[in-house]
């Protein structure tokens, strides 16, 4: 009898170890790849310039995966050692709380979710299994743990003062890297404005209104209806501006983008994507939308994967950046990698000198490269993190 029960128990234990131990890392590695194609040759001039840059990336989904970002790993696109190798000054880490099954750019419903299974497989706290806001709060805690365990190499950035402290510290030998929190779709509010306060208190300072499906705030460009903002969505936009949370229009429907740009009183960003002029994909911005973002004083973060630039070649990213520069000015161009966001790229964050070289090859000056690689985004973030005076804030 003992042997009869011992065999199934062993098999069950082995299956559990495989599910909880092997599966999460396997899924991460299979979804976030570097394609292995030839990189462009990097000149000594580009290497020297790259070391002097304040590089800011507007979007990475690394916190979604079950690993300590302080540890160098062979899978995915980003960790602290690779951020150091790439000379990144500030990384924005996104909280992904829900994605639809069979996710695509054209039309997704909100009635399925891949992330729930991921929370089980990663043995996340039970409260994250069926609560989107708790999933984001868990991601915020992961950032806190990473900062605490980094021996000063990683610093939380929640305010303009902390940003300035970071940049001053980067002039020392320690050269810490800033970590700022953003949100991929405010479905994690679960329809409650009070949850915005909880997320702000946890350190989130930027948020996209929608992700791959329509939600309580408005339509997604990948949703079924693709409508505009709801009254709740408009209220949240006003609350975000008042609190000092930056509005991200990435993934928002084209109708929703127009409505946000019309009502915005502070700089708006498109954190990760491309432009339809160089890659005609529905998730990318039209020229009118690029002009609208520029009118708010915001920036457009250009990504490195096929859906953003119709290639993984860094030259394609540089061409998209050149289009934005020529259309609205260099001050509105930025980086938005979407690293670790179920993307395949040519280079990971340790190889960001590829972008510097590609920009040089497109004729960008050193001053323009400094702007694109980080100074533009630092300007927008510094301004966007300052809450409005209560007398002028719209309630």
Give the mean model confidence (pLDDT) for residues 301-328.
98
pLDDT band, residue 132 (cuts 50/70/90): very high
Would residue 111 count as lying in a domain? yes
In this prediction, residue 286 carries a pLDDT of: 98
Q: What is the pLDDT of residue 30?
A: 87
Alpha-carbon distance 186 to 97, whole Å?
Answer: 9
> What digits encode the pLDDT tens for the residues 39-91?
999 999 999 999 999 999 999 999 999 999 999 999 999 999 999 999 999 99
Residue 15 located in a structural domain: no
Per-residue pLDDT, 13: 47
Residue 2 placed within a domain: no
How many independent structural domains does the chain possess? 1
We report the CATH number of the domain holding residue 360 as 3.20.20.140
pLDDT of residue 207: 98
**Residue 15 confidence (pLDDT):** 53
Q: Tens digits of per-residue pLDDT, 145-194?
A: 999 999 999 999 999 999 999 999 999 988 999 999 999 999 999 999 99
Res 18 pLDDT > 80:
no
| 216 Cβ contact list (under 8 Å, min separation 6) | 187, 189, 191, 230, 232, 233
CB-side neighbour CA atoms (13 Å) of 198:
16
The whole-number pLDDT of residue 380 equals 98
pLDDT score at 390: 77
Does the pLDDT at position 22 exceed 90?
no
pLDDT of 16 above 80: no
Rounded Cα distance, 218 and 242, in Å: 20
395 pLDDT tier (thresholds 50, 70, 90)? very low
Instruction: State residue 1's pLDDT score.
Output: 43
Q: Is residue 8 part of a domain?
A: no
Would you say residue 60 lies in a domain? yes
pLDDT value of residue 19: 54
The pLDDT value recorded for residue 20 is 55
20 domain residue, yes or no: no
> Which pLDDT band holds residue 391 (cuts at 50, 70, 90)?
low
pLDDT of residue 6: 47
* Whole-number average pLDDT of the chain: 94
Residue 12 lies in a domain: no
**Exposed, middle or buried: residue 37 (CB in 10 Å: 0-12, 13-18, 19+)?**
exposed
**Predicted TM-score (pTM) above 0.95:** no
Give the pLDDT score at 2: 44
Nearest one of 217, 259, 71 to 154, comparing CA atoms = 71
Establish if 191 belongs to a structural domain: yes
Full residue range of the structural domain in which residue 311 is found: 32-384
CA triple 54-55-57, angle to 5 deg: 145
Q: For 341-388, what is each residue's pLDDT tens digit?
A: 999 999 999 999 999 999 999 999 999 999 999 999 999 999 999 998
């Amino acid at each position: 009898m003992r042997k009869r029960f011992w065999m199934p128990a062993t098999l069950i234990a082995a299956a559990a170890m495989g599910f909880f131990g092997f599966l999460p890392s396997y899924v991460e590695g299979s979804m976030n790849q570097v394609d292995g194609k030839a990189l462009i040759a990097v000149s000594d001039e580009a290497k020297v310039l790259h070391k002097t840059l304040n590089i800011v990336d507007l979007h990475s989904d690394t916190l979604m995966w079950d690993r300590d970002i302080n540890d160098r790993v062979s899978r995915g696109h980003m960790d602290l050692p690779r951020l150091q190798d790439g000379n990144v000054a500030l990384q924005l880490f996104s909280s992904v709380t829900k994605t639809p099954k069979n996710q695509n750019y054209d039309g997704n419903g909100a009635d399925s979710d891949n992330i729930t299974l991921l929370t089980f497989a990663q043995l996340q706290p039970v409260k994250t299994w069926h609560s989107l806001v708790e999933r984001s709060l868990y991601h915020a805690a992961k950032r806190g743990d990473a900062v605490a365990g980094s021996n000063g190499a990683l610093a939380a950035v929640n305010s303009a003062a902390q940003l300035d402290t970071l940049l001053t510290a980067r002039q020392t030998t320690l050269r810490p890297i800033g970590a700022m929190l953003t949100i991929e779709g405010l479905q994690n509010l679960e329809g409650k404005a009070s949850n915005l306060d909880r997320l702000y208190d946890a350190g989130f300072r930027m948020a996209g209104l929608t992700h791959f499906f329509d939600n309580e705030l408005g339509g997604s460009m990948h949703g079924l209806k693709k409508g505009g903002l709801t009254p709740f969505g408009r209220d949240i936009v006003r609350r975000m501006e008042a609190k000092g949370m930056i509005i991200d229009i990435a993934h928002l429907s084209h109708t929703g983008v127009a409505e946000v740009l019309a009502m915005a009183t502070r700089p708006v960003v498109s954190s990760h994507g491309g432009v339809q002029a160089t890659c005609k994909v529905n998730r990318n911005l039209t020229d009118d939308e690029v002009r609208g973002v520029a009118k708010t004083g915001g920036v457009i973060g250009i990504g490195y994967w096929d859906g953003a630039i119709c290639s993984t070649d860094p030259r394609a990213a540089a061409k998209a950046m050149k289009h934005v520069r020529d259309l609205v000015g260099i001050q509105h161009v930025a980086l938005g990698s979407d690293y670790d966001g179920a993307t395949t790229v040519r280079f990971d964050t340790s190889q960001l000198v590829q972008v510097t070289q590609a920009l040089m090859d497109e004729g960008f000056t050193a001053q323009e490269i400094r702007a694109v690689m980080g100074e533009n985004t630092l300007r927008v973030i510094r301004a966007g993190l300052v809450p409005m005076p209560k007398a002028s804030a719209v309630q």
